[in-house]
Amino acid sequence: MTDPSTVLPAIYSFPPLYTRQPNAIIRRQQIASWIDLVLAYCKSQNFWCMTLEGVPVDEYNKSRISIFINSEIQRSVPQVFVEEIWSKMCEEGKAMGTETGRKDSSQYYVLWRTLDSWASLVLQWFENSGKLNQVVTIYELAQGDETADWEFHGMPEPLLAHCIKPLCQRNRATLIKDERGKPVATKVV
């Protein structure tokens, strides 16, 4: 388990960052700083998803601490302000609620690349590995040995399906759904 304060820049230990600033201009700057911190933390630790409280979610369900709590300087961001930060992140396309893109979700995907940028990375993999015109399951993409060196390896499958949607819109791909309507595979041309 990596403590956020060891991987994040000095501003993470700046005590007033944890109090919602009354001055609107400063607050905008403050929220922008928080967004940068969340993105940087998730990217460095390969976290794809966080709870509303800022606790990283991963498959092993290890207990982790929230990024919004800094025990070293004994400060934490009030929940109301945390929600404000999440809504701003969603607005900027840097986060996405896990439940069909709703804003007030209990968990959020953290997008340190935009969906479009992920889409082109996935497309690049398909082109590089000669998998065009073949059916590839989402599980293969996320967990398979062939994507191990790629940044999207380990991405939660529903998020990965979201990343393929821009390709569908460009008619480069199609998503294949199972009986319950969950996307399970894709074919890219």
Pick the piece of the chain touching other proteins (CB under 8 A) from 8-16, 47-55, 86-94, 109-117: 8-16
Beta carbons of 13 and 72 less than 8 angstroms apart: yes
Question: Taking the complex as a whole, how short is the minimal distance between the CB of residue 25 and other proteins, in angstroms?
Answer: 5
Q: Is 75 in the site for other proteins (CB under 8 A)?
A: yes
100 or 171: whose CB is closer to other proteins?
171
Which residues have C-beta within 8 Å of that of residue 185, sequence separation ≥ 6?
A: 135, 136, 137, 138, 175, 176
Distance CA 159, CA 157 (A): 5
Q: Is 181 in the site for other proteins (CB under 8 A)?
A: no
CA dihedral (32, 34, 37, 39) in degrees, to 10, reads: -70
Beta carbons of 161 and 109 less than 8 angstroms apart: no
Site for other proteins in 108-137 (CB under 8 A): 129-130, 134-137
Q: Is 23 in the site for other proteins (CB under 8 A)?
A: yes
Tell which one of 172, 179, 180, 182 touches other proteins (CB under 8 A).
Answer: 172
Tell which one of 6, 63, 100, 171 touches other proteins (CB under 8 A).
Answer: 171
Distance CA 20, CA 107 (A): 22
Question: Taking the complex as a whole, how short is the minimal distance between the CB of residue 167 and other proteins, in angstroms?
Answer: 9
Beta strand 173-177 pairing with 183-188: antiparallel
115 or 175: whose CB is closer to other proteins?
175
First-to-final CA distance of the chain = 40
Binding site for other proteins (CB under 8 A): 10-11, 13-19, 21-23, 25-26, 28-30, 74-76, 129-130, 134-137, 139-140, 143-146, 148-149, 171-174, 176, 184-185, 187-189
